[in-house]
Structure 1
Amino acid sequence: LVATPLPDGVLLNVNFPNCLPEEVAGTVVTTQGKLVHSLWVDERRDGRGLPYYWLRFGREPVEGKQGTDLFALRNRLVSVTPLQLDLTAHEIR
């Protein structure tokens, strides 16, 4: 990867699956999957029975289709996703 020439404004996002190195199934070039960031509010009770609220943050996968980084990681593959730095929505300008 280090020797791979990249166009200006492009970088590689490399993610490793959460497994032992010998369990890695390979390396794939992927697209970026999508996640939804969520907030949950849990009402709980303290030792005196009084309510308090616990905030939980999390991510929910929306797109785990084959070819995405999310799919690759779930299948013990190292994911290499080429990304561009310009996040402008050019079609709206």
Structure 2
Amino acid sequence: MPFGEFLEDFPSVLFVLTHVAMVGIGVWAIVRTWARSPAISKALWLYLASQPVFFAFWAELITLKMAAVTEQALIILMVVWLVLGTGRAEPHGA
């Protein structure tokens, strides 16, 4: 039995609600960082975009692997954006 198989016993609605909460956290993070660092706030849109991908999975429009790969691609793009983009946009300590 693969590790994590116990999660299969939880109802799907629990996972949908988790991703709804993650969307809320993404919106909160974008709003919270906007005044301090618009560059970071803009990068966080990629995180926000990564969460609804799982709604497509729960609606049986895409596979779980497709949802996971898409989410991870958006997250890695966000990381690259944060590392490369925000370093030039704002001086250290600003």
**Counting helix residues as a fraction of each chain, which structure ranks higher?**
2
Structure-1-length-normalised TM-score = 0.22
Q: By percentage of residues, which structure has more strand?
A: 1
TM-score normalised by length of structure 2: 0.21
Bigger radius of gyration: 1
Higher relative contact order (CA 8 A, sep 6+): 1
